[in-house]
């Protein structure tokens, strides 16, 4: 058995309100769901980006909970990469500059393909890259 795709990717954030605004207003993702103080979810192509307050997700579900999602969470800066074309990276540079978002790194990979990196409000490393960096 081999999974066909990644359905969800999770990042843990320190300020859900700032993260929600960033991923909605700067990154342009469509919100899917929200539980105040715990999480906010966004659609991204055929997948879902889950943003969690790590402290809230460490709490086990109540014995009578309808959704028995086990505790999870992490501390520190995570990483997520959005797939883009070379032309979109040019547009992202302009969009990020217009919104006062600093590009932390901007380079061409030895195997081909370009990446730019920024930080979200919680310090997570967010990359925009051409899929060809992985041979796709």
User: Please, what are the domains in the chain?
Assistant: 1-60 (3.10.180.10), 76-135 (3.10.180.10)
Span 83-122, pLDDT tens digits: 999 999 999 999 999 999 999 999 999 999 999 999 999 9
Q: What is the strand order of the sheet 114-119 is part of?
A: 79-83, 125-129, 114-119, 105-108
Hey, is 91 helix, strand or coil? helix
Length in residues, the chain: 136
Q: What is the DSSP string of 13-52?
A: ES-HHHHHHIIIIIS-PEEEEEETTTEEEEEETTEEEEEE
Q: Which residues pair with 58 in a beta bridge?
A: none
pTM of this prediction?
A: 0.93
């Amino acid at each position: 058995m081999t999974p066909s795709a990644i359905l969800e990717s999770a990042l843990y954030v320190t300020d859900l309100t700032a993260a929600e605004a960033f991923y909605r207003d700067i990154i342009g993702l469509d919100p899917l769901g929200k539980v105040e103080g715990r999480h906010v979810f966004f659609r991204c192509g055929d997948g879902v980006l889950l943003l969690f307050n790590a402290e809230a997700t460490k709490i086990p579900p109540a014995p009578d909970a309808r959704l028995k999602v086990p505790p999870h969470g992490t501390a520190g800066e995570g990483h997520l990469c959005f797939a883009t074309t070379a032309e979109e990276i040019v547009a992202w540079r302009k969009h990020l500059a217009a919104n006062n978002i600093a590009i932390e790194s901007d380079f061409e990979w030895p195997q081909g393909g370009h990446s730019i990196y920024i930080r979200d409000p919680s310090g997570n490393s967010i990359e925009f890259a051409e899929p060809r960096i992985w041979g796709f």
